[in-house]
Amino acid sequence: MELIRSPDRFRDALELARAGRQVVGFVPTLGDLHEGHARLIRTAREECGVVAVSVFVNPLQFESAADLAAYPRRLERDQAMASSIGADVVFAPAEEDMFSGGRPEVTVDPGPLGDRFEGDARPGHFRGVLTVVAKLFGLAAPCRAYFGEKDAQQLRLVRAMVGDLSLPVAVVACPTVRKVDGLAVSSRNARLSSEERRAASVLFEALSTAAALVRRGEGRADVLKAEMARRIGAESLARLDYVAVVDDRTWEEPAILDGPARALVAARFGQTRLIDNLLLPWADGSTVHNSGDS
């Protein structure tokens, strides 16, 4: 496994791999690798000749300097983990090597979806994410790029960017890795107290309840949202930020489900803000969905 610091050197290494007719698998991360990242790296390993993992704590996607400074940086451990599950390259650039002067002059506009849900809670977040992902794609593409469904809005926006800007990248979505109680694995989970950690499973319970209702024929988004909010509201350690049900393709919010939809939740547990989502069951016309007049 090779550790690369320089963007030019990273580009050259992947160009060499492609010249040898290898497909490049690319896994962008902020580091502090966990089982969720491991799933992406393993999937890339199965599908690609060379696997590159980037570890870059992207300053553009953090709202506060304190948050950015507090983000765990554990490169040696990340390298060991990435290597043990089959990565060939870890790309860990310094901030000043990514953008001269530390900040880019030109950024990627995420469009209207960039201001909703996570973008509403974290202004400028998706502009920062897409700008750095575009830069990383500029170095790593043509490639297959692996993203987690855990961050479904990010995944949706990366797909839109790749499509709208015709970037030579095949985006591959990997399912969310969860703990046994359903909590999505996240670097942020380490910040939870033991009581908050126990309480945090309410997010997956709420999502699962929405899925169960849909399976029984419920199609009214308001009913699904109210039930998710009620569940999360019943947990005294949770402070609800939002619940939503979106069309999985357009990310518009349907009043009545009329195709594959995704439930979204965000809540705080103490100082820690967690998000999760679940694709709701949809069986092409075979499910009876309430039209709202029942």
Query: Which residues contribute to the site for ligand AMP (CB under 6 A)?
Result: 29-30, 36-37, 39-40, 147-148, 150-151, 174, 176-177, 184-186
| Catalytic residue check, 37 | yes
Cβ-based neighbours of 136, under 8 Å, separated by 6 or more: 26, 28, 54, 56
- Smallest distance from the beta carbon of 61 to ligand AMP, in angstroms? 8
Q: Which is nearer to ligand AMP, 156 or 220 (CB)?
A: 156
- Smallest distance from the beta carbon of 173 to ligand AMP, in angstroms? 9
Which residue's beta carbon is nearest to the bound ligand AMP? 148
- Smallest distance from the beta carbon of 91 to ligand AMP, in angstroms? 13
Q: Which is nearer to ligand AMP, 88 or 276 (CB)?
A: 276
- Smallest distance from the beta carbon of 243 to ligand AMP, in angstroms? 20
Q: Give all strands of the β-sheet with 24-29 in edge-to-edge order.
A: 2-4, 89-91, 50-55, 24-29, 143-148, 169-174
Q: Which is nearer to ligand AMP, 114 or 148 (CB)?
A: 148
3-state helix, strand, coil in the chain (%, to 5): 45, 20, 35
What is the SS3 assignment for 218? coil
Q: Which is nearer to ligand AMP, 54 or 225 (CB)?
A: 54
Q: Which is nearer to ligand AMP, 113 or 221 (CB)?
A: 113
Evaluate whether 159 touches 166 at the Cβ level (below 8 Å): no
Please give the DSSP secondary-structure letter assigned to residue 185. Answer: P
Q: Which of 34, 37, 125, 289 is catalytic?
A: 37
Q: Which is nearer to ligand AMP, 126 or 221 (CB)?
A: 126
Evaluate whether 69 touches 41 at the Cβ level (below 8 Å): no
> Six-digit token pair at 134?
């575009």
- Smallest distance from the beta carbon of 127 to ligand AMP, in angstroms? 15
What are the CB-based long-range contacts (under 8 Å, 24+) for 160-167? 160/110, 160/111, 160/113, 161/108, 161/110, 161/130, 161/133, 161/134, 162/137, 165/134, 167/134, 167/137, 167/141
- Smallest distance from the beta carbon of 148 to ligand AMP, in angstroms? 2
What is the phi/psi pair of residue 274, to 5°? Answer: -120, 150
What are the E-state strand segments in the chain? 2-4, 24-29, 50-55, 89-91, 143-148, 169-174, 238-247, 261-269, 272-279
Burial of 253 (0-12, 13-18, 19+ CB in 10 A): middle
Please list the active-site residues.
Answer: 37
